[in-house]
Structure 1
Amino acid sequence: MATQADPGNTADVADTDATSGATELSDPSEPSRPSEPSRPSEQSRPSGPSGIWRRGRVLATAALLLGLLLLLHGSIPNRIGNLGSLVETFLPWCGLFVPLLLAGALLRRSATAVIALLLPVVAWLNLFGGLLTDKSRPGGGLTVVSHNVGAENPDPVGTARALARSGADVLALEELAAEARGTYEKELAQAYPHHTVQGTVGLWSRFPLSDTRPVDVAMDAGPLGDAKPAEVKMAYNRGMRTTVATDHGPLAVYVAHLGSVRVNPRAGLSSGQRDGGAQSLGEAVAAEKNERVVLLGDLNGTLDDRAYEGLTSRMESAQETAGAGFGFSWPATFPVVRIDQILVRGVEPESAWVLPATGSDHLPVAARISW
């Protein structure tokens, strides 16, 4: 006997569907599927405690490479384009990569990259941290100034007068053009009764000069085999040596303008003439019998460059010993390197500084020394 459906029950089911929404009924004949575990999203995955250590591995690697560059710059070979000397010329500026890498590490929230940055920071401070403090002291009996006045200086009169007001007792000039030599001699005559010019370098002094002779540093053969042309005579001399009779005794003073360097994308750093001149100058200083020696000049390179080991092993930099900051001197409009140097032996630098710009593309550098 057939059973009729209760219309009341049908209404109850319809009401349930209307209020709670349709419900999908599973087929009892199908096996049940295990539920898949939930996966964390890409944003939530690195937010755990270990995420800060896994992120920023590329930044950490870059930081370690920077630190090794600062620590082992002397091991970079010069065989290919003088790469080692090129890196050492701008070595202080490698420190600019530290804040850039730090910003990236903080942005990535990477503890690994931050810790890796300790290596370049410590290496940079070990090399240049001492230059950040003012090491000048009061005193000093003799003020020396060196300036590459520039062969194309449009205002030699103004340059000479500015140097005369500098208070220098001994003034060395490099890159003296033949047509401007008379101007400097005239403008400096009153302040400096004694002077000598050897080729394109000269020395003006308040004290008498003696035993003056040229030092050939202009075009010596260098590591790249570039030798002095036969037609170049000593009139083109770019180095000299003289004795200054100071109130404290004789002082041997060298003035030098080493050969220029060029950076070529294909050949790298071309510095053969400069390196050969630096070697000759180092040999001259080593053979100097006077215990008190001052070297003034445009060396066309920084003292971090291995090319100057013959000089830096025998003399100390006045700027590094008694200056404040890096003392950048070139180019005058926006100095980025110190290629104008004052080196001493047997005397004590008390202070060192950079003078205001003149009409030259170099800034004058000065130091006060004592016995």
Structure 2
Amino acid sequence: MAQQAYMTETVGDGSEPERPGSRLRRLAHRLFTGWRSDPGVWRRGVVLAVLALLLALVMLLHAHMPNAVGNLGSLTETFLPWLGLAVPVLLVLALVRRSLTALIVILLPAIVWLNLFGGLLTDKSGAGGDLTVATHNVNADNPDPAATATGVAASGADILALEELPASAVPVYEKALASTYKHHAVVGTVGLWSKYPMTGVHAVDIKLGWKRAMRATVTTPKGPVAVYVAHLPSVRVKMEAGFTARQRDKSADALGEAISDEPLKQVVLLGDLNGTMNDRALNGVTSQMRSTQGAAGSGFGFSWPASFPMARIDQIMVKGVEPEKSWTLPRTNSDHLPVAARVKLDTGS
């Protein structure tokens, strides 16, 4: 067997150039060799270690944080995924402080965050499904309702829910969607458009005094599906009152009761719930339904605000239905992103 010849690049003194990997290993070896000889590596960074421990406890025990003062628990749960950004910041500070104590403790919040949200970092999308659904808070002040309607209809959704519909703009949405959807109904400020027949349309009382939720039976080729559309009250973050969400919480409980009493086996909820799946205030709904984003999405699927999405408050949730794929749609003239999902129906229902 002939020997294979290798060409070796040399530098001016005849030696081989240092490879990037070797250089990094040498720097790491020098760094930690120096740390071992430094007696202060265990004493320094105690404050950083305490902060890392507190961060881990907040993420781990968020469900036990009290809501009595400013709904602090719900506020934390709304933005819970973003607490993970503190981990690399603490890591850099620990390296700057040359603190082994802090470096070790920082592993705790990293592990907790991965346990909570690591599953969302993988793509769980499937290729199957029988029904595509979408929902969009179109914004009452939308300057171009027709373009927004056309944009979300381009998603190919078989069932489309719209929220925050002002009465003056309803005819515009109806006209723009008429060629795609043969069936539709508007109740108060929410509407439902469907390619399949709809029956049993009625308002759902979510204790507001005006209509912002509805229910309909959509007869698909694979059986009837109960479709709920809801726009729960907005929440506010105020300096003097914290996270004010009492009306939202009351409406969420009422919506949960209505879904619990639903006679059909297959249920889909579409809407702007003004809350994330982590928010305990939505337990009346989330305890009995699955999020399509969590079950069949890729990433967090943040939908609000559209300019820089920070939270998933626009939800597609299912019961008795199998999520296959979930995604966000391109931005429209609204301050929310539309969201869509593909689901598989139970042909035996």
TM-score for both structures, normalised by structure 2: 0.88
Q: Does 1:242 align with 2:231?
A: no
The correspondence of residues 316-335 of structure 1 with structure 2, limited to 5 A, is 316-335=290-309
Q: Secondary structure at the match of 1:160?
A: helix
The correspondence of residues 126-275 of structure 1 with structure 2, limited to 5 A, is 126-217=115-206, 219=208, 232=209, 236-275=210-249
Separation of aligned partners in 2, 1:329 and 1:185: 24
Instruction: State the partner residue of 1:85.
Output: 74
Q: Does 1:307 align with 2:281?
A: yes
Q: Does 1:56 align with 2:45?
A: yes
Separation of aligned partners in 2, 1:370 and 1:81: 40
Maintained 8 Å contact 2:152/2:329: no
Separation of aligned partners in 2, 1:213 and 1:157: 26
Structure index of larger Rg:
1
- Counterpart residue identity of residue 346, structure 1: G
Q: Secondary structure at the match of 1:207?
A: coil
Give the gaps of 5 or more residues in structure 1. Answer: 1-45, 220-231
Separation of aligned partners in 2, 1:346 and 1:62: 43
Find runs of 4+ consecutive structure 1 residues off by over 2 angstroms: 46-50
Task: Give the counterpart of 2:100 among 100, 111, 123.
Answer: 111
- Counterpart residue identity of residue 95, structure 1: G
Maintained 8 Å contact 1:218/1:239: no
Maintained 8 Å contact 1:332/1:360: yes
Please list the CA deviations of residues 140-193 of structure 1 after superposition, one character each: whole Å capped at 9, or x if unmatched: 110000000110001101001112211000000000011100000011011000
* Residue 48 of structure 1, CA deviation: 3.6
Maintained 8 Å contact 1:218/1:237: no
Separation of aligned partners in 2, 1:349 and 1:73: 27
Q: Secondary structure at the match of 1:328?
A: coil
Give the gaps of 5 or more residues in structure 2. Answer: 1-34
Separation of aligned partners in 1, 2:178 and 2:162: 14
Instruction: State the partner residue of 2:311.
Output: 337
Separation of aligned partners in 2, 1:161 and 1:356: 12
The correspondence of residues 14-33 of structure 1 with structure 2, limited to 5 A, is none
Maintained 8 Å contact 1:218/1:257: no
Q: CA RMSD in A?
A: 1.3
Instruction: State the partner residue of 2:21.
Output: none
Separation of aligned partners in 2, 1:216 and 1:150: 22
- Counterpart residue identity of residue 82, structure 2: W
* Residue 218 of structure 1, CA deviation: 5.4
Separation of aligned partners in 1, 2:289 and 2:180: 29
Residues 162/218 of structure 1: CA separation in 2 closer, same or farther (3 Å cut): farther
Maintained 8 Å contact 1:218/1:258: no
- Counterpart residue identity of residue 343, structure 1: M
TM-score for both structures, normalised by structure 1: 0.83
